């Protein structure tokens, strides 16, 4: 029995595989940079452990945001070994999950546009080049966090159209104090910024909002695709809620930048199911 996890800062999708039978589960997000081991373990003990035959799981493939160093990967391995003591556990960065899900065993560029953003060049087996991911403070262009940052910055500077400002104030009761408090005095400010993504999606036909989304995607394509030499000869594939829900704008911006788009998926989990059943069983 195999357990596969695709974990972001907002939520974690789990797939339990027994032969070709699949069970999909969901828990809260996990990021070893922002969350303590105790916090992660307690959440999994409450939200995951009661739903799985943990003693029967033989192999866990965990792909997560923040799993980019040996110490952070070991932190997750140690926690999962307490949940599933008989399992062989592999922990990798969510970028490899995106590459395997989108490209399977074919070369291409894999891009994540969700709460955060990232990208890499994949040769069909390994990641050969990767975007420098600087997180929500310095980067995350094209992500839900970046969209929220652009929107709220414009609002605080008085640069949003009056109709957008009025709707923001009515729906979120925004004020300078409220925004700064959530950014500087609360945990996970990236989640706060990304929480404005549904508002942006709801009003995505508004001219200002469409320009804001296009601006964010333009920034991502500059640093996340066009910086890879030879990008013109590879398809750029995208996964994540932002890419999926705003794909019409993404396709338009990509076309203007001479970027060939391949797949656009909401989640990596179904692609990982295919990969681990057909290609990466071992």
Instruction: Give the three-class secondary structure for 195.
Output: coil
The pLDDT of residue 183 is above 50: yes
Residues near 9 by Cβ (< 8 Å), separated by ≥ 6?
29, 31, 34, 65, 66, 115, 116, 188, 190, 191
Contact (Cβ atoms closer than 8 angstroms) between residue 132 and residue 120 = no
- Tell me phi and psi for residue 174, to 5 degrees: -70, 145
In terms of DSSP bridges, do strands 117-122 and 127-130 run parallel, antiparallel, or are they unpaired? antiparallel
Any idea what DSSP says for residue 41?
Answer: H
Please state, in angstroms and rounded to a whole number, the distance separating the CA atoms of residues 101 and 271: 4
- Do 248 and 264 form a contact (C-beta atoms < 8 A)? no
For residue 116, name the pLDDT band (cuts at 50, 70, 90): confident
**C-beta of residue 236 within 8 angstroms of C-beta of residue 109:** yes
Beta strands in 39-142 (DSSP E): 59-64, 88-93, 108-113, 117-122, 127-130
Return the minimum-mean-pLDDT range out of 1-5, 39-43, 259-263, 274-278: 274-278
- At 139 the pLDDT is 52
Torsion on CA atoms 123, 125, 128, 134, rounded to nearest 10: 110
Q: Where are the domains of the chain?
A: 2-97+269-278
Q: How many C-beta atoms lie closer than 10 Å to residue 261's C-beta?
A: 17
Residue 117, pLDDT score: 87
Q: How many CB atoms lie within 10 A of CB 94?
A: 26
pLDDT tens sequence across 33-69? 878 999 999 999 999 999 998 888 999 999 998 888 8
CB 58 within 8 A of CB 3: no
pTM of the model: 0.81
Say whether pLDDT at 256 is over 60: yes
**Could you confirm whether domain 2-97+269-278 is CATH 3.90.1300.10?**
no
The pLDDT-based confidence of 106 (bands split at 50, 70, 90) is very high
């Amino acid at each position: 029995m195999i357990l596969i996890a695709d974990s972001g800062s907002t939520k974690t999708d789990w797939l339990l595989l027994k032969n070709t039978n699949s069970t999909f589960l969901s828990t809260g997000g996990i990021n070893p940079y922002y969350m303590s081991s105790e916090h992660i373990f307690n959440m999994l003990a409450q939200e995951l452990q009661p739903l799985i035959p943990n003693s029967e799981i033989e192999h866990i493939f965990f792909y997560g945001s923040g799993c980019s160093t040996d110490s952070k990967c070991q932190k997750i391995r140690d926690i999962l070994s307490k949940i599933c003591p008989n399992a062989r556990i592999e922990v990798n960065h969510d970028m490899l999950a995106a590459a395997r899900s989108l490209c399977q065993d074919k070369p291409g560029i894999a891009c994540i546009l969700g709460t955060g953003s990232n990208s890499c060049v994949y040769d069909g087996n390994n990641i050969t080049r990767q975007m420098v991911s600087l997180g929500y403070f310095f980067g995350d262009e094209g992500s839900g966090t970046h969209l929220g940052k652009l929107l709220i910055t414009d609002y605080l500077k008085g640069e949003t159209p009056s109709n957008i400002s009025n709707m923001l104030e009515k729906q979120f009761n925004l004020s300078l104090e409220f925004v700064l408090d959530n950014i500087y005095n609360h945990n996970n400010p990236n989640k706060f910024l990304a929480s404005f993504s549904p508002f942006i999606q709801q009003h995505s036909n508004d001219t200002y909002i469409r320009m804001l989304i296009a601006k964010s995607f333009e920034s991502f394509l500059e640093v996340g695709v066009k910086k890879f030499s030879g990008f013109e000869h590879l398809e750029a594939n995208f996964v994540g809620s932002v890419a999926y829900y705003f794909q019409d704008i993404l396709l338009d911006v990509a076309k203007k930048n001479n970027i060939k788009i391949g797949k656009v998926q909401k989640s990596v989990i179904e692609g990982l199911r295919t990969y681990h059943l057909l290609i990466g069983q071992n």
